[in-house]
Structure formats: structure tokens, C-alpha cells
Amino acid sequence: MISFESDYNNGAHEKVLQRLIDTNATRTITYGGDEFCESAREKIKLACQTPEANVFFLAGGTQTNATVIDSMLHTYEGVIAVSSAHINTHEAGAVEFTEHKIINIREHEYGKMAAEDLEKYLFDFMHDGNNAHCAYPGMVYITFPSEYGTLYTAAELDSIYRICQHYHLPLYVDGARLGYALASPACDFDLPFLAHHCDVFYIGGTKVGALCGEAVVFTHNNAHPHFFSIQKQHGALLAKGRVLGVQFDALFTDNLYFDIAQNAITTAMQMRQIFLDKGYGLYVESPTNQQFPVMHNSEVERLEADILFTRWAQTDDEHTVCRFVTSWATTQQDIDTLRNIVG
Amino acid sequence: MISFESDYNNGAHEKVLQRLIDTNATRTITYGGDEFCESAREKIKLACQTPEANVFFLAGGTQTNATVIDSMLHTYEGVIAVSSAHINTHEAGAVEFTEHKIINIREHEYGKMAAEDLEKYLFDFMHDGNNAHCAYPGMVYITFPSEYGTLYTAAELDSIYRICQHYHLPLYVDGARLGYALASPACDFDLPFLAHHCDVFYIGGTKVGALCGEAVVFTHNNAHPHFFSIQKQHGALLAKGRVLGVQFDALFTDNLYFDIAQNAITTAMQMRQIFLDKGYGLYVESPTNQQFPVMHNSEVERLEADILFTRWAQTDDEHTVCRFVTSWATTQQDIDTLRNIVG
Amino acid sequence: MISFESDYNNGAHEKVLQRLIDTNATRTITYGGDEFCESAREKIKLACQTPEANVFFLAGGTQTNATVIDSMLHTYEGVIAVSSAHINTHEAGAVEFTEHKIINIREHEYGKMAAEDLEKYLFDFMHDGNNAHCAYPGMVYITFPSEYGTLYTAAELDSIYRICQHYHLPLYVDGARLGYALASPACDFDLPFLAHHCDVFYIGGTKVGALCGEAVVFTHNNAHPHFFSIQKQHGALLAKGRVLGVQFDALFTDNLYFDIAQNAITTAMQMRQIFLDKGYGLYVESPTNQQFPVMHNSEVERLEADILFTRWAQTDDEHTVCRFVTSWATTQQDIDTLRNIVG
Amino acid sequence: MISFESDYNNGAHEKVLQRLIDTNATRTITYGGDEFCESAREKIKLACQTPEANVFFLAGGTQTNATVIDSMLHTYEGVIAVSSAHINTHEAGAVEFTEHKIINIREHEYGKMAAEDLEKYLFDFMHDGNNAHCAYPGMVYITFPSEYGTLYTAAELDSIYRICQHYHLPLYVDGARLGYALASPACDFDLPFLAHHCDVFYIGGTKVGALCGEAVVFTHNNAHPHFFSIQKQHGALLAKGRVLGVQFDALFTDNLYFDIAQNAITTAMQMRQIFLDKGYGLYVESPTNQQFPVMHNSEVERLEADILFTRWAQTDDEHTVCRFVTSWATTQQDIDTLRNIVG
């Protein structure tokens, strides 16, 4: 059965795996102090054009979000996010588990925050005489791409970042699928632009070629000086840190991370055309690797017999928004099979 | 200067104070095991017609909310509340501080949750195949009266409670201003009805006649068996528990709590008429002790010279929603002065 | 029945109560912004000779400890205390509830920390190459008087404070029974000395004349700038903050706090002599208001028929350490009765 | 340079790595619902002779400890452990981060808890009239082997477990190095005995043949029903859960886990003899893969030029306890080299 259920339904890219094989016998320092982590850090800083960055490797996305956010907030502060943000919906309360509130502001469009809404919230908060009774805004969290596959433009990101800077709030960009954003033709900026328009972000490995692993980049030497201990405290420090370092070293060698991300976009656009040709509406215009066709329930059931995908939401009693996801590993044969089944 | 800024801007009702004086020299058991607490518990259980209830005394509202909610949730669970709920807005993240998420559902009308919205959220959640990735709904929180002074009808409360029971979720009613709800002619039920239509609620003392103190009522012997230790852990256990017991004993002697609450409603209705007579709109129709006239900013500034009240929100660049609050202690002279100034 | 069970088994000192009566009708700003709190703050700063101090009022000791400690620690830090420290034994895990570890060091003598032990721990920690895997020491907590009634000398306190300063760690002194320490002839320093030899401490009111309340003194303008919000988040902010301010204003008028503490020492020394005369050993030499006679179990049972006190610990199968506590309210008649019963 | 610094300084056992290679292209369900995890679970249950067990896979030891402990404790409960327990010393406060206290009891001998000490603590606690003011004991944690490489005998484990059962407390065994315990000739029991003498334990993979991963075994269908969500909340759930399942499936095929552990013991005993022959004292008699020779500081410095190992503690100004660790990957050549250098 073909699967478009997620972008993490298989193992690692062959070059990543090969690097794990090649380095397996080498004895190293533990907890991320090894030569592979060090090499990966240097390559990532070079790719980001942020020589002053601090780079850390963690195992997964929810863990990364909770650890980064907790490291940057004081006890009385919360993190601003739109209501559909991943930390607010599908992380089982992991941020609240660190005792911090997620301060919801309006979702402007699918998965995205509007700079105007952020500014209004902050302006009103700072002018509210009773704000000492509220969770204090301590940072801003956005996802890129968003949970709906949508992207910020360079101008939008710049606007949000300017507001953050004006209010002295760090901006954190969750890049669980970062490769698929940057590989999209709809993205009008590159990795260095991102790295220069936020205070911390992570480069998702789990969904883009690795067995596991996310690379956190504090862009201007602004990691908490005890971030290592905070990782440990969160259970977010692998004893064999090399396992993550080796993989990111491979992903950032010869442009691999970006090259393999391209495949997800190419196949997603083919998939999109299949849905349009079939006459399905698209719930949201996503230029990345997640597509959201709206289908009649009978059609959903028919497809479920042959294809793995996700029911996302009901639009009415008879129609369902479905999510189909491609990845670096999606094959032309997967797409052709999809076309035959759907068509 | 007259003050309509809050219902906690003075000391205790004279009979409450007198009881503190009368009992001052008596030596008692500590931490709430004393005879005054015991007497108050019995009177409250009688007033609620819940002989099986467990009654505890805490010092303030935010403390009470965090302690009660934490005591009833498992680590992975959150509490459902509308976005304007006090725990979500003006308690500085005290619930999240206990590691629990506040699961926001739509505010149906000013400060109130609709049974239909609650049912839809719960139905959808239980039918969501990915719900193990979400904070699990562990209880439902409503306020009575709400932050806007509005009230649930008996039918509305009954509907919400039935849904809670269907989904095996405890219903918690925050009664910081409970006296002012029950004293309103718009309230179509009494204390025993409330006590039989929720699993836990608290009777606010701070805002209704006491120096401090809230009485938590677990209505059917359903307090956590270690609630005492949980209070201690939260810093919510007074060594001289008697201070709260004595006050509630006085408040629940000879109907005092209900009698003094009446004054707040009488004066609030006079105040409301003053605003209407003057031609102000009311932001929300509140049948309790908080009134929300909408005024031109110039009028707000004029009144601020002579009266203490709160700017609540901007409606447009030129108009402000203001909050005026009466209490058990508001005098006819306060109202007459208001009439003279406003009129 | 006479009671030596605790120093919080009755109401407030009459002058404290009278001030509550006198100020009851005054309308004030809420949450501690009122004139009574302001007056009390000024009097405390004057008594401490710390014009730059920040003073806050909280309702009880466990609440105060958890709030102060949490406000001064970063997420990855713990608080150093001896194993018998109150926060480590009888506060139901309230500090851990704020996510911070209590780092135990050896109890040097009854309830007290030795400067040498503190220095050795810190020296070793700072020289431990693996310390990034440990909870980081973020502050030092001592009690004065200790849980056993013992006192630090000026030299001992000075030594501990110098070590704290050397390692840039704030020193916090829990003064739940501070009045009884300073009133003891065995205490070789005064309140200003204490205030100049720690970074934060609290002046216990609950056990020394108040209905409830502790006054936290950050000695050199070093309170967290958002301490108010942290109080709220902890449920440690009274709406009628005045209730605490009025009481401390009374306690710090005309030396009342110190004068009434004296009575506890006088009566405790009489009590001590009664035990010695009777031939009981004293488990610890306490120069303050808690005395710990060691009694045969049969004698304990005999006394329990007429006197309230506490069984503290078993020394062997036949003997028990008991705790007898005096307070500002202990009368000469209490002592005479005790002498008659024991003798 | 040869390394005896840790048992996690290289990659995975070749058979584990091969299985990752062989399964890399297979598309599976995510989050541990895949066929590899399922197979590994069955093999582990079979090896434990606990058909009713619940098995979960997590990435590392600190994460596992915090997640398991938090899932089994109520908010007001703590976990009992000896002071040298790993959770109390080298996990950066990860347990306290979940708001639970570690209740220290005396270390009986190197790293081990005595059943008598546990019983005395529990008996005293249950008979302490003030215990509602204390963190309540909610479970017992021991390590096997301990941090010093020592082992419990079958009789000792049985005694501890009986006490836990008597007091209705779950017993949790941290088996980060479990393979090296069971492979030691000094261990007088096997895996099924362990599984039948505790309520939950974990089988360490990171230190015994895997890239990462620990297998938690709730021995009698006693996992929290929402353990999956609690994993997610803790950031302890890998999207590609298969990565752990594949590795444990390999480790529990054809006795691999036990066979490879044997090598660590064989080489550790050779190492021990080298130290004894050289005339070094051993700080503790460890029958497992960690050895603790006591050396003159000058000798330590000499060896550090050629060998990686750890300075564990100072015994006096001139001598240091060092830790040398073997693993499944230690070679005969490593030992020969050590002999040449030390000898």
C-alpha cells in the first residue's frame, strides 16, 4: 500500500545511513562533544552565514520546542503563538508542562500569524494597566512552513521580526519541515535570510532525511549559557550525541539537505495537479509538501482501501479535508499509483 | 473619592470582624482542624443541602483555582474553559504553572460557555484518531457570575453538567462573586441547585464580606483524599486556618452571606439606571454587581477626577468600556454621589 | 487544656487586631498598593536600616519560601539547604513543585549549616568536570532560628554570607520565627545586622503576633522586577493586600514585634528550667521558644492527658523527644500550670 | 588513544546496525505503532516471561526515568531513592522538573538501598502524625547495577520488593546497564526473576549495543493507560519510533543482548586483575563493567596521557578514585594496551 500519511514513515536517506555505518566504530567523546557534532555545527553555521551562532542537536520536534522555549522564558513569561500552532495543538501540553502559558493570538490565515495582530496584542498588553496579573509575553513562536504547509514571505517575516525586536522579544521559528519550505518555488528567501530574521530556529531532520534529530540554531550567540544542562533536565540530551551529529554532518555535506527536500516539492506539485484534475477543491493553497484536498466521504473511504493518508477535518456532513504528505523519499511510482487510483 | 473600582477595596463586614474579635483568644488546633472551621463546614453543607460534601478553606481565588484544578487533573490532562475565563486571562498563568493546559473553547456570549460548543469539542476530540497527541480534557471550568457579570440559567447549567457527566468530566464553578449571582433577580436557581449541578465550586469570601478566604465545596465527597497535602504543596494552607473558618462561620450564620450580597445588586441596579438615564450604552447586559457603560473618552477623563473605576477596553478611538463595581459595602451615599457627578 | 503545641494556635496580638478594626472601613487600592502596606514597608526598611530594600507581604511560610526561591532561581538551578531544612521536610514538596531541586548538604549541628560544608560543596561542584549534568546551585537557604530552635552566631552568619558572595549565590534566611531568634539573649546580633548579611529574608508574622502574613525583605533592591506577577502566578497575592499591610504596620509600630517576642523567650526559659528540675534531658540546647525534653513514654502519655504538645522523634523504644513551644501569647499561668503538672 | 571513559563512546553493535540498514526502506506506521516495535515488544515479553507486560521504547535514560516516574506518581507524591541514586545526582534535576520530590534515604552500601532502611523510613512515615505536611512516598527507585557497579542479590531484591508490596508502592528498577548486571557471575538471578520482582524496569540499550534507546517494561499490565500521551508531553516520543523498535528487535534476537554484555564483564575482570597486580586498591568491589581503582595523583596524570577514563572522587590530597568502564565493544587489544601502560 502506498503511504502519504506522513513525511516520517521510513528510515534515513542512504547517504545519512552510510555515514552512520562509516563512523560506527569510531570512539568519541559523549553528549555531543564529539568531532561529528563539531563538524556538523560548523557546516550549519556556514550554511546559515551566522558564524556567531550556537548549534545544538536534539532528538525530536516536541522535545526541541519545549526545551528551547523553556530555556528562553522566565518563570512568569509565556510564549505567543497562533491558536493552530503545533505547540498549542499536537504536543500534548509539552510547553505547559514546563510551566509556561501559550498566549494565543488570532490565526490570520491558515497557520500564519499576522504582524499586525502581533503588534496590536503587544501594544495593548503594554498599555494595559492590569497586565501584571497576566502571563507576560516572553517570546514569539511561528512555524515555517506552517501546519497547513503555508509560507511566510520575506516581507512578512521581516515585519514580524521587527516587531519582536521593538518589544525585545526573541522570535523562534519551528522548522520541523524547514527543508520543504526553502525548496518551494513560493519561498522568496533562503536559509541565511531566515537565520538573520529570527533569534532561534530549528532545522528539522526527522522529516527531512534523518532517522531522528533536529538542529537548533541560536543565531547570534544567544543560547542560554546553561543550555546543555537544560537539555539534560528536559531528558533531551542523548548520551551518544554523535548519532545526531553524524546525520546532520551528512545532511549538510554537498547540499544534501536542500537537494533531497526538492523531491518532496516536485512530487507534491504533481499530487496537487492530480487532485485539481479530478475536480477536488483544495482546503488551502499549500506550496509545500502537504496537500489538503476536500473530498466526498465516499471517495475518502474508497481511497483508504489503497492509500494511507489522514482525515484532517470535516467541512460538512458529507465532505472531509484530507492531508496527503510527500517527502524526500516519495517516488515517481508513488505518484503514478496515486494518479491511477484517484483518477 | 468614591470608589467603584472593585468589590474588595475595604475590610470585612462588621459581623465577620466581630467574630474574629470574639474568638481571638481561643486556642485551637491548627491548619483548619479547629472548631470554627468545623462549624463553618457544617453550616455550608447545610446551606448547600449536600451532607456528603467536603469543604476546604483557602485564602484567595487564584490560589483556589490552581489548587482545585491541579488536584483533579492527571498530569496529561488540561482544563476546558472559554477564552475569557479568569484562569485564562488574569491569573498570571497560575494553572499552567501547575503544568496543566487550559483548553480554550469559543466564548459563546459574554463570559459564558455554550453547552453545544462544549459538546461539539468533546465529541470531536473523542472521535479524533490523533487525540493521544493532544492535552486530554480532564475537567470543565466556568465562572458564575462570569467576568462580565452574566449568569447561566438553571437550564444552561443543567445542560453543561449533563454533558460533563456524559463524558465523565468534573464540572468546576468558580464562584469568586457567587453571592452576587445568587442575589440577582435574574438568577433562576439557588445555592442547593448549584451544588447539585456541579462537582466542585467555591463560595467567594474575599469579595463578599470577608478579609480574605474562599470556601471550596466538593459536592459529593469527591475531594482528592490528599487534598490537604496538595494545599500545603501549593502554599495554600494557612497555619491559622481558623482565620478563614471564623469568617465563613459568621458569613453562614443567619443568612449573612446572602443578605449582604443583596446590597450589591440593589446599588448596581441603581447605578445601571443612572448610566441609562445619562444615555450611555451598556457593553453587556449584566444583572449582577459589575456594570459596563460605554463612554466617550472625554467623559471618562472627567469622571476619573472624582471616581475610582476601571477602563476595561477600547471600543473605538473615541470610546471606552468602563467597569463600575458595587459590593456589600456600597452605600446609598456612594450612589447618590455617582448620580450627581455623572448626571 | 493548656497548649504548647505551636506558636500559631490563637489569634492576633490585641494591638494588631485593633489596627484591623480601626482601618476596616477605609477604602484602598488593592493587591498591596495601599497606604497601609506602604507604611509597613517604610517601617520595616527603617527597622532593617536598608533604605534600598524591596518589601512584599505574603500570607504564609511555605508559600513565601516557594515564591521567593522560584523567583530567584533559573530553571536549571536548585537551592542548597541542610537535610533538616523546613523546605526539605515539612512543606510537602512545595519547592520541587516549582520544578527546582533542593540540594542537600550535611546538617552540621541541629538544624544548622556549617560554612565549611557549604564551601566544600561549592568548591567541589565548581571543580567537577561533570557538573553540567547536575542541578546547578542557585541560592542558599538557611533558617533562623532553625527547626530545632538553634541560632547562628554573627560570625557564623558572616562566614556563610561571605561564601555566598564569593560564589555569587544569594543567601535566603527563612525567618518564620525571626522575632524569637532576635529576642533571645543568645543572639549576638540585631535585625540590621541580619539584613546586611543576606540577600533576602522574611519576617514571620503568623507565629509572632499576626493572624497571618510574612514580610519578605529583598535587602538591596534585588527583588525580581516581576515579583508581583510571580506572586500572582503562585497564588500568593491577596486581593485585599491591606490585611497584611495593616498587621505589619502595627507590628512595626513602637517596637511591638520585638517586645511581644520577648515573652516567648522568657516563658521558654522558665519551661526549660522546669524540665531540667524534673531531671529530663534536653535533646538540643535551644535558646529560643522551642524546647525539646526527652521523656519516658509513660511520662509522655501522662502529660498528654492535660497538655497539648508534640511527639517529635523516638530516641529509643522507651523514650521520646517532645516539642514544647511558647509564643508571644504564652501566659505566666500557662507556665505555672505546666510546672504543677510536670513537677 | 584507548578509551575506558564510558560504555557509550561508539556506535551500535554490527547486528543492530545491520538491522537498521535492512529495514531502512520499509514504510511503517509512526510513533511506535510499527511492526518492528511490535516484534521487539513480543520478544522482550517472552524474554521476561511476562506475557502481560506493557513495553515502551524511549530514547535515553534520564528521559526514561523522568517519564516513568512522573507517570506513576500523583502530584503530591515523591520517589524514594538513596542519596547516590542517578536520578538524585546526575540527571540535572529532571525528576524535580516534573514537580516531584526525590525522598532520600541512607545509602546502605555503595549505591545500594537496604531493605531495612526502606522499611524503617516507611514505618516511621506512616506513623508520623504530621506526615500530611510531607511529600508522600509514591514509589521506590533503585539502580541495577548501581552507579558503583554493585549488585543486589536475589534475596535483597526480594526483600525490597516485599516491602514495596506491603506499602502498596511500585518498585522501579533503573537498568541503564542491566545487561552488565545480568552477565556478571556475581548475579544470582536472571531477567525473568527481575521482571517478577518489580513493577517496572528498563532495559538499557544505549550502553548495551544500541545507538540509543531504552525499553521500559511495566511488568504486569500496569502502565498508565495514557502513557503514550505522557511520553509525548515529556518530549519522549520519537516520530520514527521504529528506530528504537528495530534496534531492540535485533538485541532480543538470538540472545544478542546477553551475549554482547558478556564481553564487558570478561574484559572488566581482566582490567580488575591488572589494577590488583599493580597494587592499586579498589574503592569498591564491583562485579560488573565499572572498576574503581584508587591511584596516586601522579599515576593518574601519567595514565591520562594515553588513556581516557574518569576522575571520580578525591580520597585525600594525593589520591584519586578513578573510573574505568568496559562495554560490549571493548577489545582484547584495549585490555592488552591497558596492561602495557599501567604495568
Q: Are residues C166 and C115 in the same domain?
A: yes
Question: Collapsing DSSP states into helix, strand and coil, what is residue D325?
Answer: strand
Q: Which three cell numbers stand for residue C260?
A: 511581644
Encode pLDDT of D153-170 as tens digits. Answer: 999 999 999 999 999 999
Selecting from B136, B228, B232 the residue whose C-beta is nearest the C-beta of D226 gives B136
Q: Report pLDDT for C93.
A: 98
B300 in a structural domain = yes
Q: Cβ D63–A212 below 8 Å, yes or no?
A: no
Domain limit, last residue, from A202, A229, A255: A255
Q: Sorting pLDDT into bands at 50, 70 and 90, what band is C343?
A: confident
Q: Are residues C208 and C236 in the same domain?
A: yes
Of the candidates C170, C231, C227, C177, the residue with the CA atom closest to the CA atom of residue C200: C170
B130 in a structural domain = yes
Q: Cβ C133–A232 below 8 Å, yes or no?
A: yes
- Cβ of D99 under 8 Å from any chain C Cβ? yes
Cα separation of B197 and B162, whole Å? 9
Q: Cβ D136–B233 below 8 Å, yes or no?
A: no
Mean pLDDT estimate for chain D: 97
Q: Cβ A17–D20 below 8 Å, yes or no?
A: yes
In chain B, residues 287-316 whose CB comes closer than 8 Å to chain C: none
Domain limit, last residue, from D206, D235, D255: D255
Residue of B nearest to D134 (CA): B229
The mean pLDDT of B36-50, rounded to a whole number, is 98
The mean pLDDT of A185-210, rounded to a whole number, is 98
Cα separation of D178 and D205, whole Å? 9
- The answer to whether the CB of A60 falls within 8 A of the CB of A206 is yes
Residue type at C96 in one-letter notation:
E
Contacts of A233 in chain C (CB under 8 A): 75-76, 135
Q: What distance in Å separates residue B278's CA from the closest CA in chain C?
A: 27
Q: Are residues A289 and A154 in the same domain?
A: no
The mean pLDDT of C257-285, rounded to a whole number, is 97
Selecting from C11, C60, C64 the residue whose C-beta is nearest the C-beta of B25 gives C11
Q: What distance in Å separates residue C219's CA from the closest CA in chain B?
A: 23
- Cβ of D67 under 8 Å from any chain B Cβ? no
Encode pLDDT of C306-336 as tens digits. Answer: 999 999 988 898 999 999 999 999 999 999 9
Mean pLDDT estimate for chain A: 97
Q: Report pLDDT for C1.
A: 79
Residue of C nearest to B67 (CA): C235
Record the pTM: 0.97
Encode pLDDT of D187-202 as tens digits. Answer: 999 999 999 999 999 9
Q: Are residues B186 and B125 in the same domain?
A: yes
User: What's the CATH number where B335 sits?
Assistant: 3.90.1150.10
Percent of chain A with pLDDT over 70: 100
Contacts of B91 in chain A (CB under 8 A): 133
Instruction: Answer yes or no: is pLDDT of C19 > 90.
Output: yes
- Cβ of C33 under 8 Å from any chain D Cβ? no
Q: Report pLDDT for B282.
A: 97
Q: CA dist A171 to A219, B298, D210, Å?
A: 11, 39, 37
Q: Are residues D246 and D318 in the same domain?
A: no
Contacts of C99 in chain D (CB under 8 A): 93, 96-99
- Burial state string for C193-205 with b = 16 or more CB within 10 A and e = fewer than 16: bbbebbbbbbbbb
Cα separation of B281 and B295, whole Å? 8
Q: Sorting pLDDT into bands at 50, 70 and 90, what band is B272?
A: very high
B5 in a structural domain = no
Residue D343 Cα to chain centre, angstroms: 32
Q: Which three cell numbers stand for residue D119?
A: 522499611
Query: Which partners does chain D have (≥3 C-beta pairs < 8 Å)?
Result: A, B, C
Contacts of A132 in chain C (CB under 8 A): 226, 228-229, 232
Q: Are residues D218 and D82 in the same domain?
A: yes
Q: Are residues A208 and A289 in the same domain?
A: no
Q: Sorting pLDDT into bands at 50, 70 and 90, what band is D1?
A: confident
Q: Are residues A114 and A58 in the same domain?
A: yes
The mean pLDDT of B185-197, rounded to a whole number, is 98
- The answer to whether the CB of D60 falls within 8 A of the CB of A235 is yes
Q: Sorting pLDDT into bands at 50, 70 and 90, what band is A243?
A: very high
Hey, CA dihedral for A303, A308, A310, A311, is it positive or negative? positive
Contacts of C206 in chain B (CB under 8 A): 238-240
Domain limit, last residue, from B255, B272, B294: B255
Mean pLDDT estimate for chain B: 97
Probe site for chain A from C30, C31, C75 (most A CB atoms < 10 A): C75
The mean pLDDT of D57-76, rounded to a whole number, is 98
User: What's the CATH number where B67 sits?
Assistant: 3.40.640.10
- The answer to whether the CB of C232 falls within 8 A of the CB of A133 is yes
Selecting from D76, D134, D230 the residue whose C-beta is nearest the C-beta of B75 gives D230
- Cβ of D60 under 8 Å from any chain A Cβ? yes
Q: Sorting pLDDT into bands at 50, 70 and 90, what band is A54?
A: very high
Question: Which segments of chain B does DSSP mark as H helices, in order?
Answer: 14-23, 35-48, 61-72, 86-89, 94-97, 115-126, 154-166, 178-182, 191-195, 227-233, 242-251, 256-278, 297-304, 332-342
Question: Which segments of chain D does DSSP mark as H helices, in order?
Answer: 14-23, 35-48, 61-72, 86-89, 94-97, 115-126, 154-166, 178-182, 191-195, 227-233, 242-251, 256-278, 297-304, 332-342
Q: Cβ A96–B92 below 8 Å, yes or no?
A: no
- Cβ of A131 under 8 Å from any chain B Cβ? no
Probe site for chain D from B56, B73, B75 (most D CB atoms < 10 A): B75
Contacts of B325 in chain C (CB under 8 A): none
Cα separation of A250 and A208, whole Å? 12
Q: Cell match 483524599: residue?
A: B225
Encode pLDDT of B198-230 as tens digits. Answer: 999 999 999 999 999 999 999 999 999 999 999
Q: Report pLDDT for A343.
A: 77
Q: Cβ A235–D236 below 8 Å, yes or no?
A: yes
ipTM for the complex? Answer: 0.97
Q: Which three cell numbers stand for residue C324?
A: 514544647
Q: Sorting pLDDT into bands at 50, 70 and 90, what band is A1?
A: confident
Of the candidates D105, D122, D124, D125, the residue with the CA atom closest to the CA atom of residue D113: D105
Q: Cβ D78–C91 below 8 Å, yes or no?
A: no
Q: Report pLDDT for B242.
A: 98
Question: Collapsing DSSP states into helix, strand and coil, what is residue C103?
Answer: strand
Chains B and D: how many Cβ contacts under 8 Å? 44
The mean pLDDT of C263-278, rounded to a whole number, is 97
Encode pLDDT of D289-340 as tens digits. Answer: 999 999 999 999 999 999 999 999 888 989 999 999 999 999 999 999 999 9
Q: Report pLDDT for A326.
A: 98
Probe site for chain B from C91, C233, C323 (most B CB atoms < 10 A): C233
Q: Report pLDDT for A52.
A: 98
- The answer to whether the CB of B82 falls within 8 A of the CB of B148 is no
Cβ neighbours for B217, distance < 8 A, ≥ 6 positions apart: B44, B45, B48, B50, B53, B54, B55, B195, B200, B201, B202, B203
The mean pLDDT of C20-34, rounded to a whole number, is 96
Q: Which domain holds residue C206?
A: 14-256
Q: What distance in Å separates residue B116's CA from the closest CA in chain C?
A: 32
Number of domains, chain C? 2
Q: Report pLDDT for D82.
A: 98
Q: Which three cell numbers stand for residue C115?
A: 560554612
The mean pLDDT of D167-196, rounded to a whole number, is 98
Q: Report pLDDT for B343.
A: 76
Q: Are residues C266 and C174 in the same domain?
A: no
- For the CA atoms of chain C, what is the radius of gyration? 20
Q: Are residues A161 and A47 in the same domain?
A: yes
Q: Report pLDDT for B205.
A: 98
Q: Cβ C92–B61 below 8 Å, yes or no?
A: no
Per DSSP, the residues of D220-277 read TS-S-TTHHHHHHHTT---TTTHHHHHHHHHHTSTTHHHHHHHHHHHHHHHHHHHHHH
Encode pLDDT of D247-285 as tens digits. Answer: 999 999 999 999 999 999 999 999 999 999 999 999 999
Q: Cβ C90–D130 below 8 Å, yes or no?
A: yes
- Cβ of D97 under 8 Å from any chain B Cβ? no
Contacts of D61 in chain A (CB under 8 A): 239
Encode pLDDT of D113-154 as tens digits. Answer: 999 999 999 999 999 989 999 999 999 999 999 999 999 999
Q: Sorting pLDDT into bands at 50, 70 and 90, what band is B55?
A: very high
Q: For B298, phi and psi rounded to 5 degrees?
A: -65, -35
Q: Report pLDDT for A14.
A: 98
Of the candidates C109, C104, C202, C103, the residue with the CA atom closest to the CA atom of residue C156: C109
Q: Are residues A270 and A251 in the same domain?
A: no
Percent of chain B with pLDDT over 90: 97
Selecting from B99, B136, B228 the residue whose C-beta is nearest the C-beta of D132 gives B228
- Cβ of D317 under 8 Å from any chain C Cβ? no
Q: Cβ A228–C132 below 8 Å, yes or no?
A: yes
- Cβ of D237 under 8 Å from any chain A Cβ? yes
Encode pLDDT of C141-167 as tens digits. Answer: 999 999 999 999 999 999 999 999 999
Q: Are residues A239 and A280 in the same domain?
A: no
Cα separation of D336 and D223, whole Å? 46
The mean pLDDT of A102-113, rounded to a whole number, is 95
Q: Cβ A229–C99 below 8 Å, yes or no?
A: no
Q: Report pLDDT for D236.
A: 98
